[in-house]
Amino acid sequence: MELSRLAETLTRSLDRIEAVATDAEKEREVLVEKKGQQVREIWEKTGKRVRVKGDEITGGAKVVHGLLGPTIKAVVKAKGEYDTALKAEGMEGGIMV
């Protein structure tokens, strides 16, 4: 029973990391939209076209996955090992098989 709780904890950890990545991507999209609005305002006021590179605004899910990549890899590996141990005990996902 303890192994199944630990395996579930690892699954929830991955879910939390994905939630952080999703939130970060939403915040990045807001920043991209604000930057686009600023560029439009400059063009309307001055008639000058300002070029914005797509990768100028960093952050988002890509950065979260980059920073937490080793952690994600370790958690996935540990989850696999817990699942293997659960199967060896005759349980799968905390339910007897």
In the chain, the number of structural domains is: 1
pLDDT tens by residue, the chain, 97 residues: 688 898 899 999 999 999 999 999 999 999 999 998 999 999 999 988 888 776 788 999 999 999 999 999 999 999 999 989 888 887 555 454 4
Distance, in Å, from the CA atom of 1 to the CA atom of 85, rounded to the nearest integer, reads 11
Region of 59 on the Ramachandran plot (φ > 0 left; ψ -120 to 50 alpha; else beta): left
* Residue listed under structure tokens 């904890």: 9
- pTM equals 0.77
Nearest to 64 by CA among 27, 31, 30: 27
Nearest to 57 by CA among 90, 79, 83, 24: 24
For 53, the domain range is 2-96
The reported pLDDT for the residue numbered 91 is: 58
- The half-sphere exposure of 23 on its side-chain side, counting CA atoms within 13 A, is 6
The reported pLDDT for the residue numbered 2 is: 83
The reported pLDDT for the residue numbered 97 is: 41
- For the chain, the distance separating the N- and C-terminal CA atoms, rounded to the nearest angstrom, is 13
